[in-house]
Amino acid sequence: MNAQETKSIIAELNADYPGKGRVTIYEDEAVKGIVGRPITPQLPVYTEPGGVSYVKMRGYKIQAFAGNDQRTSKNEAYSKQALINQAFPELETVIIFDSPFWRLRVGNFKTREEAEKVLDEMRLAFPSFGKEMYIVPDEVKIPIEQSADY
């Protein structure tokens, strides 16, 4: 067996090692194809009307605003969304109303590191409200071409 071939766990356990005793495992054929295989399920693929396909998965977004003032929070969320859309048109922005809170979330990032890079850029672009922005775990939409290892 060369270095690039790998034994299954059952084959490894059944291997004969002199002086170390012997273990014999009888494996059903139905189990043989399952043992050692990754168990992560395939994620469903969604397609937007524009033809962009993506998967939804746990990832990260940047929370750019959160407020619960009945008089000003809605307008502030939409105002900040417009500013961010103008400065970062490639990032998706979503306004969420979960009474009594208005939240503005930005981006779809697979890793926290990706989100941190963009957060740093956003803080430079918007120093006046940069301190209230932070990273939150959320469900994100990752385009298929970026998500080969989902």
pLDDT in tens, 51-88: 788 889 999 999 999 999 989 999 999 999 999 999 99
- If you ran DSSP here, which 8-state letter would residue 144 be given? G
47 is written with which tokens? Answer: 């397609």
pLDDT single digits (tens) 92-149? 999 999 999 999 999 999 999 999 999 999 999 999 887 899 999 999 998 886 444 5
Q: Confidence class of residue 3 from pLDDT cuts 50, 70 and 90?
A: very low
Rounded (5°) CA angle 128-131-136 = 130
> pTM surpassing 0.85?
no
Give the integer Cα–Cα distance in Å for 7 and 4. Answer: 10
Domains of the chain: 1-39 (no CATH), 47-146 (3.30.70.1070)
The Cβ-side half-sphere exposure at 60, using a 13 Å CA radius, reads 16
Q: Tell me which residue of 90, 83, 42 sits closest to 64, measured CA to CA.
A: 83
Higher-confidence residue of 25 and 36: namely 25
The residues near 76 (Cβ < 8 Å, ≥ 6 apart) are 65, 67, 102
CB 105 within 8 A of CB 64: yes
Q: What is the DSSP code string of 9-55? A: HHHHHHS--TTS--------HHHHTTTTS--PPPPPEEE-TTS-EEE
Q: Confidence class of residue 2 from pLDDT cuts 50, 70 and 90?
A: very low
Give the integer Cα–Cα distance in Å for 39 and 34. Answer: 9
